[in-house]
Amino acid sequence: MARTANFIGGGFDEIKLLPKAKDNSAGKFYYICDHYRHSLDPKAYEAQQTERVENRKLSITTCDDGAVLIKGVFDPEGGAALRTAWEALARRSGAHDDRSRQKRLADAAVELAIHGMDIGMNPQQATQRTHLQVTVPLETMLGLPGSPGGDLEFSPQPISAKTVERLACDASVTRIVFDSKSQVIDVGRAKRTISGPQRKALNARDEHCIWTGCERPVTYTSGHHLKHWFFGGGGELENLALLCYRHHWMVHEGGWQIVRGEDGRVVVIPPVVSFGSSARGPD
């Protein structure tokens, strides 16, 4: 009420608010007071919200270790828009999902950025994603010893070969050949690792992320090669599956495996965890 009195100035009458203060929680009463402020002076209330929009801020800072810190201040409408987009993706994806809420919200922000779609597209058909540009030597793609990492535009550090492998599962790939002096001598045509017709068939068959208990829709999935095309895997449907961002990461960087049985069902295999020395002699 003190905040409301300061906003209204002279003539504030707490009698109208006292009954509501008795019947509501502090948080709910705060909200009721905002309605009251708007009812008395809508123009002043609008001016305050306009000021908050003008004062939106977002800073992006890169740490020494390559981690990226993001800090922002948003007005109520802008904050609600972000939360509406993130909250649906931040729900737990099954009983196995032991991520903290902060981790789920961070993953949701990344997932939304990667799988952003054009407004007006049918969510069941949309596969438009943010374009990430990765430059990687052939040696890295093949996993040869001594190979460097991949270069990802706007990333402060090189990305690992496993991350390159995941991103290349469902991407456009362009071959660029250099001579011994690092001069470009040939540029091939960009080719999709999963073609448009293949992706449509994959969407129709899987309908959502195929991980047990996860129902993330096709809009927020990538096509995954059970046997990666780096290592000779084909583009036939039997070798493809839809995975959401989190579960795709778990397969490539997290050490999980996915296999398809003879009956067509997909089996998820957790990584092997070893305790103690991996090479013990006889007791």
* Per-residue pLDDT tens digits for 16-65: 888 888 899 988 988 888 888 888 888 888 888 899 999 999 999 999 88
* Per-residue pLDDT tens digits for 219-256: 889 999 999 988 888 889 999 999 999 999 999 999 99
Single pTM value for the model: 0.72
* Per-residue pLDDT tens digits for 177-221: 877 777 777 787 778 889 889 999 999 999 999 998 888 888 889
Residue 123 has what pLDDT?
41
Helix (H) or strand (E) holding 44: helix 42-54
Residue 283 has pLDDT above 70, yes or no: no
Buried b / exposed e across 197-227, counting CB within 10 Å, b at 16+?
ebbeebbeebebbbbeebebbbbbbbbbbee
Residue 201 has what pLDDT?
94
CA distance 251 to 261: 17
N-terminal to C-terminal alpha carbon distance within the chain: 74
Residue 205 has what pLDDT?
94
Phi, psi of 37 (to 5 degrees): -60, -45
Residue 7 has what pLDDT?
78
* Per-residue pLDDT tens digits for 88-133: 889 888 778 889 999 999 999 998 888 764 333 344 444 456 678 8
- pLDDT band, very low/low/confident/very high, at 280 (cuts 50, 70, 90): low
Task: List all residues 6 or more positions away from 36 whose beta carbon is below 8 Å from its beta carbon.
Answer: 4, 16, 17
Residue bearing the bigger pLDDT, 126 or 15: 15
How many residues appear in the chain?
283
CA distance 56 to 94: 35
* Per-residue pLDDT tens digits for 163-189: 989 988 988 888 888 777 777 777 877
Residue 15 has what pLDDT?
84
Residue 124 has what pLDDT?
43
Average pLDDT over residues 147-175: 88
